[in-house]
Structure 1
Amino acid sequence: MFPSSWKYRRRVDRVVCASLPAPSRGGVAVKAIGMCEFGGPEVLQLMDLPEPHAGAGEVRIRVHAAAVSPTDVLLRTGGHAVRMPGRRPPFVPGMDVAGVIDQVGPQLDGRLSVGQRVVAMPLFTGPRGGGYAEHVVVSAESVVAAPAGVDFAAASTLLMNAMTARIALDALESQPGDSVAVTGAAGAVGGYAVELAKADGLVVIADASSVDTELVRGFGADHVVQRGNDVAARIRELVPGGVPGLVDGSVQTTEITPALADGGTLVELQGWSGPVERDITVRPIMVAPGGITDTVGLDRLARQAEDGVLSLRVAEVLPAAQAHRAHRMLEAGGVRGRLVLDFS
Structure 2
Amino acid sequence: MRAAVVKKIGGPEAVEVVEVPLPEPGPFEVRVKVAAAALNPADAAVWGGFFGPLDEVEYIGLGLDAAGTIDAVGAGVLLEVGTPVIVFHAPVLRPTKAQAEYLVTELNSLAPAPEGMDLTLAATIPLNATTAVQALEHLPLRPRDTLLITGAAGAVGGYALELARTRGLRIVAQGRPEDEEFLRGLGARWFVSRDEELSAAVRRLVPEGVDGVLDAAALGAPALAAVRDGGIFVSVRVDVLPAPERGVVVRHTSAGPDATRLSYVSALAEAGVLTPRVGPVFPLSQATEAHTRLAAGGLRGRIVLVP
How does the TM-score come out when normalised to structure 2?
A: 0.95
Does residue 310 (structure 1) correspond to residue 279 (structure 2)? The answer is: no
Measure the CA separation in 1 of the matches of 2:22 and 2:67.
Answer: 18
Does residue 261 (structure 1) correspond to residue 225 (structure 2)? The answer is: no
Does residue 81 (structure 1) correspond to residue 52 (structure 2)? The answer is: yes
Task: Write the deviation string for residues 203-251 of structure 1: whole angstroms up to 9, x where unpaired.
Answer: 1111122211111112111111222351221111111111111001111
Aligned residue runs from structure 1 range 111-150, under 5 A: 112-127=79-94, 129-150=96-117
Say which SS state the counterpart of residue 65 (structure 1) adopts: strand
CA contact (8 A) 2:4 2:96 kept: no
Aligned residue runs from structure 1 range 170-209, under 5 A: 170-209=137-176
**Paired positions, count:** 306
Does residue 51 (structure 1) correspond to residue 51 (structure 2)? The answer is: no
Measure the CA separation in 2 of the matches of 1:327 and 1:177.
Answer: 40
Measure the CA separation in 1 of the matches of 2:56 and 2:303.
Answer: 27
Does residue 326 (structure 1) correspond to residue 290 (structure 2)? The answer is: yes
The more displaced of 250-259 and 188-197 is: 250-259
* Cα offset, 1:128, TM superposition: 5.7
* Cα offset, 1:148, TM superposition: 1.2
Say which SS state the counterpart of residue 189 (structure 1) adopts: helix
CA contact (8 A) 1:39 1:76 kept: yes
CA contact (8 A) 1:59 1:139 kept: yes
Measure the CA separation in 2 of the matches of 1:209 and 1:310.
Answer: 21
Of 261, 282, 288, the residue aligned with 1:297 is 261
Structure 2 residue aligned with 1:278 = 246
CA contact (8 A) 1:123 1:129 kept: no
Structure 2 residue aligned with 1:105 = 74
Give the percent of matched residue pairs that are identical in Structure 1 and Structure 2: 38
CA contact (8 A) 1:93 1:130 kept: yes
* Cα offset, 1:72, TM superposition: 0.7
Measure the CA separation in 2 of the matches of 1:338 and 1:189.
Answer: 11
* Cα offset, 1:124, TM superposition: 3.8
* Cα offset, 1:87, TM superposition: 5.8
Larger Rg: 1
CA contact (8 A) 1:61 1:103 kept: yes
CA contact (8 A) 2:15 2:291 kept: no
Quote the RMSD (CA, aligned, Å): 1.6
Measure the CA separation in 2 of the matches of 1:299 and 1:54.
Answer: 22
Measure the CA separation in 2 of the matches of 1:189 and 1:180.
Answer: 15
Measure the CA separation in 2 of the matches of 1:245 and 1:329.
Answer: 33
Aligned residue runs from structure 1 range 2-13, under 5 A: none
Measure the CA separation in 2 of the matches of 1:258 and 1:105.
Answer: 51
Of 95, 100, 113, the residue aligned with 2:64 is 95
Structure 2 residue aligned with 1:4 = none
CA contact (8 A) 2:3 2:96 kept: no
Structure 2 residue aligned with 1:215 = 182
Letter in 1 for 2:27: A
Measure the CA separation in 2 of the matches of 1:107 and 1:141.
Answer: 13
Flag structure 2 segments of 5+ consecutive residues without an equivalent: none
Say which SS state the counterpart of residue 62 (structure 2) adopts: coil
* Cα offset, 1:127, TM superposition: 3.9
Alpha-carbon distance change, 124 to 241 in structure 1, aligned in 2, over 3 angstroms: same
Letter in 1 for 2:149: V
Report runs of 4+ in structure 1 exceeding 2 Å deviation.
126-129
* Cα offset, 1:118, TM superposition: 0.7
Measure the CA separation in 2 of the matches of 1:77 and 1:336.
Answer: 22
* Cα offset, 1:328, TM superposition: 1.8
Alpha-carbon distance change, 281 to 74 in structure 1, aligned in 2, over 3 angstroms: same
Measure the CA separation in 2 of the matches of 1:44 and 1:340.
Answer: 15
How does the TM-score come out when normalised to structure 1?
A: 0.85
